[in-house]
Amino acid sequence: MIAATRNSGIAPLGDMPWGTHACLFYETKQDAFDTLIPYFQAGLQSRECCVWAVTDPIGEEEARAELMRSIPNAGPNLTDGAIEILPGEEWYMDGVAQGMEAIVRGWHEKLARAIAAGYEGLRISGNAFWLQTGQWAAFAEYEQMLDRSLTGQPMIVLCTYPLDQSRAAEVLDVARAHEFTLARRHGQWERIETPELKQAKREIQRLKAELEERVIERTAELAAANARLEAEYSEREQVEAVLEEAKVALYRRVRLTTVGVLAASIAHEINQPLAGIVTNSEASLRWLTNEEPDLDQVRAGLGRIARDANRAADVIKRIRALVAGRIEHAKFDINEALGETAALMKATLQAHQVEVQLVLGAGLPPVVGDKVQLQQAIINLVTNAAESMVNAAGPREIIIGTSLAEGGGPMVTIEDRGRGLSPEASDHMFEPFFTTKEKGMGLGLSIARTVVEAHGGSVSASPSPLGGTVFRFTIPGASP
């Protein structure tokens, strides 16, 4: 691998990249040798091909002697072309005759040959003092052309000028044409910087300062953001604590509400059989006080009273089981359960002049669960259906149907010819305590839904083609 920077061999220059174009003013011949000998020696050590274009006041023989004296291996290097001493005047004058770019081209041809011979690049020293005074425009043109041609090339150029032969204006012109300008005067180094270089350095300095400022700014911003995050975090912890407290309070409220709902639902469910008992006992009394007491009717009425009383007892038993967390798990036939429910409600419904029609599907799978609970749900739906028709002018009819739902379980529908659902009821009717009735408790539907869902099913309502509402629920079927 070829190194990216080259050792210049000149202390104030140090390492320099390929393409460097530097310039040296020297006071005495010794000053020139003090610079050029280490310059070439470093080039030879870095496997570069070196070319020394020698011009007045330094002669070719003098240069050769100086090399031989100072560099141990100079002899063989001179013979095999690792270092070449070029009669500068001839070299440049040939170029001038053919135009400025011919000289630049000449250097590049030497570079190509050096690369072909296995050198890493070309290291040159020369000067343009062969130009006559008054030809400075041509000189500047040459130096600029050379400067441009060096970009990206493995070539280093050091132009050397005797100070005693240069006028101040010329020194400035020469300096301006180079990236680096050095002066060696009586053994001392001086470094001359062109305005462009100074400007560039100042610009770099400014950018660096700006960058540092930005880094400081960003660091401060980051610290602020970090502090904000920490504050947010602790705020969030506080909010979470408050939320936790609210949650506990809410649980307490929910428990209280549940107890309230339970108390109300006990009353609700006991009211049903009680109403049946009252209706039946009134009827029985009427039948007894008739001129010809209808004892068969009375007997049937008393039977219904006993049944309703048993049912109330059953409900209480179930509620106690429910409170204790016990739920029956028995397999039963849904059609049978519906038949029983309809029979149970017959008297009450008749009192409201409501007809019940059962349209039961065949081949339904049994269901597993709590039959009394499910019957309670059905009673609630049927009661609502009956109540929806209280002021109906037309026929008061409820159709209770069963069929096979898509999921394979039974579907139960309870359809009425009532006044239909108000929009508000559609949205809220399943919520506990929602009612549109003067004496309603608003628990029937919420209980029905709880029961159906506890059996793994779901309940919904929609307008019925009969003009009223149809409630339907499905529950999963069990294997027979």
Ligand X SMILES: Nc1ncnc2c1ncn2[C@@H]1O[C@H](COP(=O)(O)OP(=O)(O)O)[C@@H](O)[C@H]1O
Interacting residues with ligand X (CB under 6 A): 380, 384-385, 388, 416, 418, 420-421, 425, 429, 434-437, 440-446, 469
From ligand X, Mg ion, none, interface partner of 441 (C-beta below 5 to 8 A by class): ligand X
> Which of 125, 149, 376, 384 is in the footprint of Mg ion by CB under 5 A?
384
What is the rounded CA–CA span in Å between residue 456 and residue 449?
11
3-state secondary structure 249-309: HHHHHHHHHHHHHHHHHHHHHHHHHHHHHHHHHHHHHHHHHCCCCCHHHHHHHHHHHHHHH
From ligand X, Mg ion, none, interface partner of 82 (C-beta below 5 to 8 A by class): none
Q: Cβ closer to ligand X: 10 or 421?
A: 421
From ligand X, Mg ion, none, interface partner of 51 (C-beta below 5 to 8 A by class): none
Q: Cβ closer to Mg ion: 298 or 400?
A: 400
What is the rounded CA–CA span in Å between residue 292 and residue 286?
11
CB 127 within 8 A of CB 88: yes
Q: Which of residues 57-76 bind Mg ion (CB under 5 A)?
A: none
Q: What's the alpha-carbon Rg for the chain, to the nearest Å?
A: 56
Q: Cβ closer to ligand X: 42 or 399?
A: 399
- Residue 239 C-beta: closest distance to Mg ion, Å: 42
- Residue 301 C-beta: closest distance to ligand X, Å: 27
Q: Cβ closer to Mg ion: 283 or 412?
A: 412
From Mg ion, ligand X, none, interface partner of 416 (C-beta below 5 to 8 A by class): ligand X
What is the rounded CA–CA span in Å between residue 221 and residue 11?
44
Q: Cβ closer to ligand X: 277 or 379?
A: 379
Q: Comparing C-alpha atoms, which of 404, 392, 390 is closest to residue 352?
A: 390
What is the rounded CA–CA span in Å between residue 450 and residue 460?
13
**What letter does residue 370 receive in the DSSP assignment?**
-
Q: Cβ closer to Mg ion: 284 or 384?
A: 384
Q: Which of residues 387-446 bind Mg ion (CB under 5 A)?
A: 444
CB 348 within 8 A of CB 308: no
Looking at 273-281, 319-327, 340-348, 377-385, which segment touches Mg ion (CB under 5 A)? 377-385
Sequence-separated (6 or more) residues with CB below 8 Å from residue 318: 328, 370, 372, 373, 376
Q: Cβ closer to ligand X: 344 or 381?
A: 381
User: In a 3-state reduction of DSSP, which class is residue 46?
Assistant: coil
From ligand X, Mg ion, none, interface partner of 425 (C-beta below 5 to 8 A by class): ligand X
Q: Cβ closer to Mg ion: 208 or 437?
A: 437
Binding mask 443-462 toward Mg ion (x if CB under 5 A, else -) reads: -x------------------
Q: Which helix (H) or strand (E) holds 456?
A: none
- Residue 403 C-beta: closest distance to ligand X, Å: 19
- Residue 285 C-beta: closest distance to ligand X, Å: 29
- Residue 253 C-beta: closest distance to ligand X, Å: 21
Tokens 């159906």 map to which residue? 452
- Residue 261 C-beta: closest distance to ligand X, Å: 12
Q: Cβ closer to ligand X: 95 or 432?
A: 432
Distances (CA, A) of 371 to 35, 152, 218: 114, 96, 72
| Residues facing residue 53 across a β-bridge | 86
What is the rounded CA–CA span in Å between residue 449 and residue 445?
6
- Residue 275 C-beta: closest distance to ligand X, Å: 14
- Residue 434 C-beta: closest distance to ligand X, Å: 5
The sign of the CA dihedral 275, 276, 277, 278 is positive
Q: CB nearest ligand X: which residue?
A: 444
By CB under 5 A, name the binding residues for Mg ion.
384, 444
